[in-house]
Amino acid sequence: MKRSREKAAAELFAALYPRLAGWCRRLVDDDGTAHEIASEAFTRLWARWTSVAEPRGFLYVTAANLVRDHWRGLERERRAVRRAGVEAAVRPPAEQADPSVRLLVQALPERLRTPILLHYYADMPIREVAVLTGRKEGTVKADLHAARELLRAHLRRSLDHTL
């Protein structure tokens, strides 16, 4: 029994790890951090192996939560740097200061951010996002619509400020 469990886990890892790590890489812009997050998601899956009905969904939701924690840590770090008064020394070039879609997605409320990450960044169909988030498909569609409207408004405002 233990051998078949280990074999199933190894096959799942081989099948899903590259795509999960790539998805994380697009979200965090750092190979090392992306691999840490993907590895941690698999570690958490392994700890709950017998109780997880949908391993792929568990991995992506766990990774999305870990990415969110990473983003929060970066924001705490930025605030600490600003408070210390050394922001000018570490300020990125002006062209990088413009809001990116990734940063705008990061700023969405979790209720809207999770469906966006799963549907658009992990290429999951709405049906699967609904199952993973425990919401009805219509609710997921409404959340995706609301998130797109918020992102559109933020992008429009940022473009108006740069013209």
Report d(CA 123, CA 74) in Å as an integer. 26
Assess whether pLDDT exceeds 60 at residue 58.
Answer: yes
* Distance from chain centroid for Cα 60: 8
CB atoms within 10 A of CB 2: 6
**pLDDT score at 39:** 94
Assess whether pLDDT exceeds 70 at residue 85.
Answer: no
Residue 50, CA atoms < 13 Å, CB-side half-sphere: 4
**pLDDT score at 124:** 84
Burial, 50: exposed, middle or buried (Cβ in 10 Å; 0-12, 13-18, 19+)? exposed
Assess whether pLDDT exceeds 60 at residue 96.
Answer: no
**pLDDT score at 1:** 59
Does residue 18 sit in helix, strand or coil?
A: helix
Higher pLDDT, 76 or 105: 105
Assess whether pLDDT exceeds 70 at residue 98.
Answer: no
**pLDDT score at 84:** 58
